[in-house]
A and B are shown apart, each in its own frame.
Chain A
C-alpha cells in the first residue's frame, strides 16, 4: 500500500486505534457513540439491519477524505467504517471492468490493476487517492484532473451494490457499458454522501495502460498569458489526459523572482507518436503566449506530478478543504480570486485548477475559525456570482452551521427531500444536502 505521503494519515493529528476516517469525523466535531468495521457485505447488512431495527443513526465512512461533502450530523449512534470491505470481487480484463468492494482505496485499486499481466488503470485521481476509498469517492462524487479525458464516476461506474435503510440488499446497473433498464440509481447515488443507502461495492470501467505517457511542464508569468494558452489548448485538436494549474509562489521549483507565476502540468497519454507530437507542440504553443517549459516522457513521472498538483503539500491540523466548480472559461480568474481571498485573510492556501473542467480545489488551515469562516463566506459569494458550486470536502461542523442550503431550495423540496423521506423514513442515514 502506498504510504500516506500525499494526504495526512490523520488530517486532524489525532492518532489512535480508530481508522483515519473515524478519527477525522470526531475531529470535525461529530460525536460518535460506536464504530463497527464489517469485513464483507453480509456483515454490513446484518449490522445495518440491527441498527435500523433499533432506530439508530448510521454514518458510513471510508478514508475520511471527503467527510464534509454531505451533511455532518452533530452526533451519530454508529459509524460504519467501510475500510474493512477492501477486496477485489471480480476482474474481467477482456471486458475492461472491475468489481471492487467499497472500502478499497483508489491507489490500492490501481496497484492491483497495474500488476495484471497486460496492465490496466482506473483514471480516478481525486485529492487523497491514497486514502480515498471507491465507496467514499462514489458517495462524494470525487474526481481529479484525469476527468478531462476519462470523465467522472458518472462515466466510469457500470453498476453498484448497497444496502438500503431497512437492511435489504439493492443492486443497480451491471457489467455492461450501456444500460437503461429502470431508474438509474447507479448514477443517482453518486454524490449522495451516504444519505440514501450504504454502498458496498461497485463495478467500474478500467483502461489498459497507454502505450506512452508524458508530462508537459509549463510556466507562465501573467494571468493573461495563462488564459490565452488554456483557450488555445482547449480549441486545439489535442486532448490531454489531465491538466492542473498551480501557483508557484511559495511552491517548489521556480520562485517569484524568476518572473513566473503559474505552473501548468499537462498529462499526456496514448499512442507513442501522438504523445511525441504533443511533447513538441505544446511547449511551442506555450511560447506563443509568453510561457515556456518542456516535456518529459514517462508514466510514473507524469502521474507523480499530476498527483502532486492536486494534493495538499503538507498536513493540516484542522483542514479546510474545498471543491469548487465554475464554467470553464472562468476558471483562471476564479483561481486567482480564490488565492487573493485566502491571502487577504492570512490563510496559507494551496489552490489547484483543473482548467479544462472548471474544477478547483482549495487546501487551507481552518483552525482559526474566524478567518476560515470569513473566507468561506467570501468564496460562497464569489462562486455564486460565477455561476458555480462550492462544496466542502473537509471542514469543521462549526464552519458549516451557517452554510445554508447547498442545493436550490425548490429542488430540495421537489426532489431530494421527498426521495429521502421515502427511501429512509426513519432517518437511519444522515440528512440529504
Chain B
C-alpha cells in the first residue's frame, strides 16, 4: 500500500509514463559503470527543473532517499541507489538552452551529452574544454556531479574550472540559482564545492559553463616506447621542463592491443607503450616546442615518433584513446578502473608499483591514463562470476590507492569516491577533515536523503 501511494504521487508529478516501478524495468538501473549494484524502488524520468524540485520535495518529506542519474558512466558507484532509493533520471532534460558567444558562456540542461555541446560549438569556432573519454554518452550533469576531467584537462582544467553557474535543487526541494554570467559571486565558492560533490548535496538542473575560442593550430604526435616507465619518465620530464601541452596520454601494450582489435586506431601492436602528445595554440613557435618534446622522448629511449598527418588521423588516434575502456570488454568480462593520482614526477615509481601489484595478486592490469595530470587509470581485468578473483581485485585496487597516497598523491583524480573508494578516504584525510565533510553534509542535507552513503565514510 505504501509503495502504491508513493508511486501514485510520483506519477502525479511527472506523469504515469515517466515512472518505472516493475522489477524487470528497475534492473537496468541497479548498476552504473562501477562494480556495486542495488536496485532502485522507482525510476523517475524528469522533463523539467520543476519536475525535479517537486519530486525531491516529496521524497524529502517522506524521508525517502534518492539519487540523480545521467548516463550512469561514473566509475565509482556514485549513482547506485543505496537502500533501494529512487533514481531521478535526468537524461531527458537534454536541451542546450543558450550559446552566448559574446559572453563566452553556454547554458545547458543536465542531460546534454558532453559531445553534443562540443558539436554545437565547433562550427562556431568554440569549444568546451573538459572532455571525458566517455564524452559521447556522459552527460554534463554527470560531469558536474563528478567534476569530470578528460585528456584536455591537463592544460585547461577540469569541469570545476569551467562551471560558472547552476540552477540547483537542494535536498529539501528548494530551487535556487547560483552564480551567473558574471564571475566571482560573493561569499565562499559554493559552486566549487557542489561540482564534484557526487550528487550528495543536491541536483543541478541547469548548468552555465565557460566556452573557449578554438585554437589556431593543433599538433598531435604519437611516441612509441619500449616500456611503460620510460613513457612515464618522458611525461615527467616534459612537465619539469615547464612545457604544458594540451594533452599527455599514455596507453600500455595490453590496452593498445585491445583498442586495435576493437577499432583499428592505428597504434603499433608491438609498442610496449604509446604516449599521445598534443600541442595547441598559436602556430608560431609550435614546431620548436614539438622539437623540444621529441628531444625529451629521445632522451628516454623512444623507439619512434610520428605526427598525425591530418584531421582524420588525429581523430583516429583519439577515437582509440577514448574507446579504450570499452575495448577491454574483448579481454575480460569486467574491469575495475583505479583512479589514483600522483605528483607527476612520481609517475615512473607509481607505474612500477602498480605492475608489481598485478603480479602479486595474479591479475591482468592494463594502463590507459592522463599522464600529464599524474592521473593513473590501471584497469584490473577479471571475471565477476569468480568471487575469489573479485576478492583479489578489491584488495589489489585498495593497494594501488595506498601506493598513490604514499607517493604524495590522492585516491581519486576524476572518477569520484562513490561507494567504491570509501574505505580509502582515511588514506588521505584525518578524522578532523572527514568530520568537517560530515558536518557540511549534515548542514545541507540533515535528513540524509540526497544520495546517502557516498563520498564520506561513516564513523
Q: Which residues of A contact B (CB under 8 A)?
A: 92-97, 118, 141, 143, 151-152, 154-155, 164, 168-172, 174-193, 195-196, 207-208, 231, 234-239, 270-274, 276-278, 323, 325-329, 357-359, 386-389, 391, 406-408, 410-411, 414-416, 418-419, 421-423, 432-433
Indicate which residue in A141, A239, A276, A423 contacts B284 across the interface (CB closer than 8 Å).
A276
Contact of B184 among A94, A152, A155, A164 (CB under 8 A): A152
Determine whether the beta carbon of A182 is less than 8 Å from that of B437.
yes
B183/A168 in contact, CB under 8 A: no
A187 close to B189 (CB less than 8 A): yes
Decide if B103 is an interface residue (CB 8 Å cutoff).
yes
**Which of B's residues lie within 8 Å of A, judged by CB?**
101-105, 125, 146-147, 149, 153-154, 157-158, 160-161, 170, 172, 174, 176-178, 180-190, 192-193, 195-197, 213-216, 236, 239-240, 242, 281-282, 284-286, 288-289, 341-345, 370, 373-375, 408-417, 421, 425, 428-430, 432-434, 436-437, 439-444, 455-456
Q: Knowing that A141-B184, A178-B370, A270-B282 touch, tell me 13 more A-B residue pairs with CB under 8 angstroms.
A: A154-B160, A171-B429, A177-B374, A179-B341, A184-B147, A187-B189, A235-B101, A237-B216, A239-B281, A325-B184, A358-B103, A415-B443, A422-B442
Selected contact of A416 from candidates B187, B215, B341, B411, CB within 8 Å: B187
Tell which of A95, A408, A416 touches B188, judged by Cβ atoms closer than 8 Å.
A416
CB pair B186 A406 closer than 8 Å: yes
Residues of B within 8 A of A185 (CB): 193, 436-437, 440
Contact A181-B186, Cβ < 8 Å, known A164-B436, A422-B439? no
A407 to B185, Cβ gap below 8 A? yes
Cα(A175)–Cα(B96), bound, Å: 36
Bound Cα distance A270, B280 (Å)? 13
Q: How far is the CB of B65 from chain A (nearest CB, A)?
A: 19
27 contacts between A and B (CB under 8 A): A92-B343, A152-B183, A155-B161, A168-B432, A170-B432, A171-B429, A176-B342, A177-B344, A177-B374, A178-B374, A181-B411, A187-B192, A188-B193, A191-B186, A191-B189, A195-B188, A235-B125, A235-B213, A271-B286, A273-B288, A274-B282, A274-B285, A358-B181, A388-B182, A389-B180, A411-B178, A422-B440
Task: State the CA gap A190–B193 with chains docked (Å).
Answer: 10
Q: Pick the most buried of A175, A276, A329, A359: most chain B CB atoms within 10 A of its CB.
A: A175
A71–B196 Cα gap in the complex (Å)?
28
4 A-B pairs with least C-beta separation: A187-B192, A271-B285, A208-B242, A178-B413
Q: Is the CB of B374 within 8 A of A358?
A: no
* Inter-chain contacts of B154 with A (CB < 8 A): 177
Chain A residues with CB under 8 Å of B433's CB are 170-172, 182
**B417 touching A182 by the CB < 8 A rule?**
yes
Contact call B146/A180, Cβ cutoff below 8 A: yes
CA distance A336 to B143 in the complex (A): 39
**Contact between chains at A179 and B187 (CB < 8 Å):** no
Which residue on A lies nearest to B342, using beta carbons? A176
What's the nearest-Cβ distance from chain A to residue B177, in Å?
A: 7
A433 to B196, CA, bound (A): 23
The distance in angstroms between the C-alpha atoms of A168 and B102, with both chains bound, is 46
A164 neighbours in B (Cβ, 8 Å): 432, 436
When the two chains form their complex, are residues B436 and A418 in contact, meaning their CB atoms are under 8 A apart?
Answer: no
In the complex, what distance in Å separates the CA atom of A207 from the CA atom of B239? 10
Complex CA–CA separation, A193 to B184 (angstroms): 13
* B282 and chain A: residue at smallest CB distance: A274
Residues of B close to A172: CB separation below 8 A: 433
How far is it, in angstroms, between the C-alpha of A196 and the C-alpha of B190 when the chains are bound?
13
CB pair B176 A411 closer than 8 Å = yes
Inter-chain contact A408/B192, CB cutoff 8 Å: no
- Indicate if the CB atoms of A237 and B239 lie closer than 8 Å: no
On chain A, the residues within 8 Å of B239 by CB distance are: 94-96
A94 touches B104 (CB 8 A): no
User: Do A176 and B409 touch (CB < 8 A)?
Assistant: yes
Checking A187, A238, A359 against B160 with a beta-carbon cut-off of 8 angstroms, the contacting residue is A187
**Which residues in A have their C-beta under 8 angstroms from that of B409?**
174-176
Contacts of B411 in A (CB 8 A): 181
Once the chains are docked, how many angstroms separate the CA of A263 from the CA of B344? 42
Instruction: Find B443's partner among A155, A178, A327, A421 (CB 8 Å cutoff).
Output: A421
Tell me if A169 and B289 are in contact (CB < 8 A).
Answer: no
A234 to B181, CA, bound (A): 16
Query: Is A178 a contact of B182 with CB atoms below 8 Å?
Result: no
Quick check: A180 and B413 within 8 Å, CB to CB? yes
Contact A190 B345, CB 8 Å, known A176-B413, A274-B285, A276-B284: no
Q: How far is the CA of A318 from the CA of B176 in the complex (A)?
A: 37
Flag if B176 contacts A408 (CB, 8 Å): yes
Which of the residues A179, A183, A237, A323 comes within 8 Å of B193, measured between beta carbons? A183
